[in-house]
Amino acid sequence: MKEKISISLIVFNQEYIDNFFKFSFNSIINNIEKFKNFEILLLITTENKYQNLFKEKFKILKNNSLKIIFDNKILKQYNNKFSYSILTKIQAAHSLKAKQENSNFIYYTYADMIYNNNCFINSFNALKNSKKSVCLTFALLLKNSDLFFQFYEKLVKEKDYINFLIEKPNIIDKFHQSFSIENINTNKSFIYEIHSDNLSIKALHTHPICIQLTNIKYETIIQLQNKNIISLDNGFLECLDINNEEIYVEEDFNKASVFSVDNNEINRTFADFKKYCKL
């Protein structure tokens, strides 16, 4: 029997649409293509006017078991307003739909995030082998610049992107640069240190790449629909009753890298993260 995975994708408003197809789309495509002989379900929330665009773009995937479901009910309910709590409501709805469609795993993607080409398959294997429920990593914020374009090319072509980041630390957005171990910041939710040959991160918050839905009860996912959760990074796992023993933290950025791309036209909110995980 084929493994079945769902991929949650929420992309709306023109700025996000442009940013997504400029960077995130190719990164996600490269990851999906690693799932040979898998059933793939794309759960997409976007405005009606963009649905045909997404259908056309995803035709690049040569997978006879690919299925796309569009749902923008929650998006309409909040008049296309952006906030991470609204995104999380949609992700909760996607989780329920994935469970109803008998998906074994669900991946949560964002319009401004990019991934190394083996991020999804490596996190899948990590959870299958460990039998744990969620795979976490840290999403480092990068600055949209000429250096970023060079980094992005190396990332999608698997050409030593980590060393490029180490050699060109200014690619990190100024907001996240303030969390460097070399800088003073009295409200650090994480710290990072760049060495000659590696990057070390210790974080109070981490980012879920995927969840093994076979480990989560249907009733638990249903009750998510009525919860007010700050974000996927803050409160989501607690509401799924996932304990520390069920969490797999991927400590090797070469296996699973997630980066967020800064765009001044895109709104950002920041929350008070309390959960500690060491990368």
Tens of pLDDT, residues 188-201: 667 777 877 777 77
Distance in angstroms (rounded) separating the CA atoms of residues 63 and 38: 9
Q: What is the mean pLDDT of residues 168-189?
A: 77
**Tens-place pLDDT, residues 221-276:** 999 888 888 888 888 888 998 988 999 999 888 899 999 987 653 444 333 334 33
Find the helix or strand (DSSP H, E) in which 122 lies.
Answer: helix 119-130
Distance in angstroms (rounded) separating the CA atoms of residues 6 and 106: 5
Residue 200's pLDDT is 78
User: How large a percentage of the chain has pLDDT more than 90?
Assistant: 58
The structure's pTM equals 0.89
- Tell me which of 267 and 50 has the higher pLDDT: 50
Q: Does the pLDDT of residue 46 top 80, yes or no?
A: yes
Q: CA–CA distance from 242 to each of 27, 113, 213, 245, 247 (Å)?
A: 28, 24, 11, 8, 7
**Tens-place pLDDT, residues 119-155:** 999 999 999 999 999 999 888 889 988 999 999 999 9
For residue 10, report the phi and psi dihedrals to the nearest 5 degrees. Answer: -120, 110
Distance in angstroms (rounded) separating the CA atoms of residues 250 and 231: 20
